[in-house]
Amino acid sequence: MNNQDEQPENRLRKELPDEVPAPAASAAPAPVEPRRTPVEPGRTPAEVGEPPLTGRQRLINGVWPPRVTRAQLIVAVLLFGLGFGLAVQVASNSDSDSALRGARQEDLVRILDELDDRTQRLEDEKQGLEKQRQELQSSSDQAAEARKQTAEKEKQLGILAGTVAAQGPGITMTVEDTKGTVKADMLLDAIQELRAAGAEAIQVNGVRVVASTYFTDSGKTVSVDGNKINAPYRFQVIGKSQDLEPALNIPGGVVQTLEKEQATATVERSDKIVVDALRQVKQPDYARSSSR
């Protein structure tokens, strides 16, 4: 048979390639591990399929590592400076009050009593001046009353000026200085403390102390108004002994200061102290009375 006589099926088979047999079944492919997608900024672990963080983990992540900004650093420095300044202020205040805090109860009571006594003396002086004013106003013979008060005032001023001798109750303070460590300023502090306690007349080693009195160092000795005096220094003071003695023995006062300088100070009360050293009245060169 020729080619024309071939069946259509046979012609089609000849034109197609031979069938290729399927390859034998191989082993199953290895499982591919899923890729972990990193957590992008701004996305929570739940959005990327990871378990959510606990509250404690979020707190730790929020505070550590610490993030310090410039503003926080400046605030911290300012707060430190403020705290340091307050500490210095408290320390300075504590130093200024340490003397009273360290004093004994009886010393504090004595200081308070001294302040009360000073207040009482000022009140008594005020009442005395009020009484004088009333007497001048109510006296029938104001001229005679004025002369009487003038004479009394002259005696008082004479005692203060050192031109008149005086006597009365008071104390005697003796300062022994075997080491030669007592200076003029220490004796001057004693005079100032006695005056503040109400001393009315003072005499030191035979030299009358008045308003213009000055103390100077003269080698290992002391001079009072230019008069050299030697240890022991003896203070004769007229005034209320119940006020004068405690004023010298207060904590940190005259007696303790002298003891620190290896000197000793003894105070004795007496019902009669005589201050008989006198001063010459110095005529002022320029000052004149302005009364007419």
Asked if 250 contacts 169 with a C-beta cutoff of 8 angstroms, the reply is no
Q: Would you state the pLDDT for residue 242?
A: 92
* Cβ proximity of 49 and 37 under 8 Å: yes
Distance CA(112)–CA(108), nearest Å, equals 6
Cβ pair 267, 163 in contact under 8 A: no
Return per-residue pLDDT of the chain as tens, 292 residues: 454 555 555 555 555 555 555 555 444 455 555 455 554 555 555 555 566 777 777 777 766 666 667 777 788 888 888 888 888 777 666 655 566 666 677 777 888 888 888 888 889 888 988 888 887 777 666 777 778 888 888 888 888 888 899 999 999 999 999 888 999 999 999 999 999 999 999 999 999 999 889 999 988 889 999 999 999 999 999 999 999 999 998 888 899 999 998 899 999 999 999 999 998 877 778 888 776 5
